[in-house]
Amino acid sequence: MMHRFANPTRFMRVANAILPWCAALTVVFLCIGLYLGLFRSPADYQQGETVRIMYIHVPSAYMAMFVYGAMAVASAMALIWKHPLADMIARASAPIGAGFTLITLVTGSLWGQPMWGTWWVWDARLTSVLILFFLYIGYIALVNAFDDPARGAKPAAILALVGAVNLPIIKFSVDWWNTLHQPASIVTMEGPKIAASMLWPLLCMVIAFNLFYLTVGILRLRGEIAGARIRNLQLGLTHG
């Protein structure tokens, strides 16, 4: 089953077929989510209108971790099974995840200034997300540091796996240590602590961001595969 899609050509045939649907649905969910979040959802009883930053901040924070998780799984598959597509999936994902992480940090800072009274504090949650951003940047730098991308694949995959330790730290930082950042509101033992009128727009945005990752991921993967083909052809020309 796994090896059926290990073939880049077969994989891309499927990916290309779903790409237009992903792109269209991204736009649809983004429009619905933004409209509900910015215009139709109520203001918070404490935060007022500032709560609307959450509709960008929370989905991008979730995606920042989700994309890294996907990269770590792909890297493990590349190391263990030498799956030809796995390295490419990890490489294609990195800049998208870095983008989500940056959005998380910036929107969080914009929310922190009016609510907490500070742009930034070195608490466990904020610091561990900043480390996630540096892991993404480090991964991208490492992948691009080799003339032959095939040689950079293994160290980069190891870096991605080592960095995965940070994911549970980010998620549970607010429970393990005293932090300024509030504890989880959605995925908690007692159920969501967000009013339903605010939860629906948030879920729409989460779906939209997931679809965005899928769309841009396929586009970038197409680039990675084309790049690998070109390198192979050039090698064939010089050695042939």
Partner 1 sequence: MSTTTPATPKHGLSRAATRKRKRLYIVLAGMTMLGVAVALMLTAFKDNIVFFYTPSDLTEKVVKPEHRVRLGGLVEDGSVRKAADGVTTEFVITDHIATIPVSYTGILPDLFREGQGVVAEGHIGPDGSLQATEVLAKHDENYMPKEVADKIKESGRWQEGGSGG
SS3 119: coil
Minimum Å gap between C-beta 101 and partner 1 is: 20
Instruction: Enumerate residues 6+ apart whose C-beta is below 8 A from 128.
Output: 166, 169, 170, 173
Q: At what angle are helices 124-144 and 84-115 packed, to 10 degrees?
A: 150
Minimum Å gap between C-beta 215 and partner 1 is: 29
- Asked if 116 and 157 count as a contact pair (C-beta separation under 8 A), the reply is no
Alpha-carbon distance of 28 to 208, in angstroms, equals 8
> Per CB under 8 A, which region of 59-67, 90-98, 156-164, 229-237 contacts partner 1?
156-164
* Interaction mask 99-138, partner 1, x per CB under 8 A: ---------------xxxxx--xxxx--------------
- Asked if 53 and 107 count as a contact pair (C-beta separation under 8 A), the reply is yes
CA distances 213 to 63, 71, 79, Å, are 8, 12, 23
Query: Does 73 engage in binding with partner 1 (CB under 8 A)?
Result: no
Query: Does 80 engage in binding with partner 1 (CB under 8 A)?
Result: yes
Q: Which of residues 162-181 bind partner 1 (CB under 8 A)?
A: 162, 164-165, 169, 176-180
Token digits of residue 231: 């390198």
> Per CB under 8 A, which region of 5-13, 38-46, 86-94, 222-230 contacts partner 1?
38-46
Residues of the shown chain interacting with partner 1 in the complex, contacts defined by CB under 8 A:
42-47, 51, 54, 76, 79-81, 114-118, 121-124, 161-162, 164-165, 169, 176-180, 182-185, 188, 193-195, 197-198
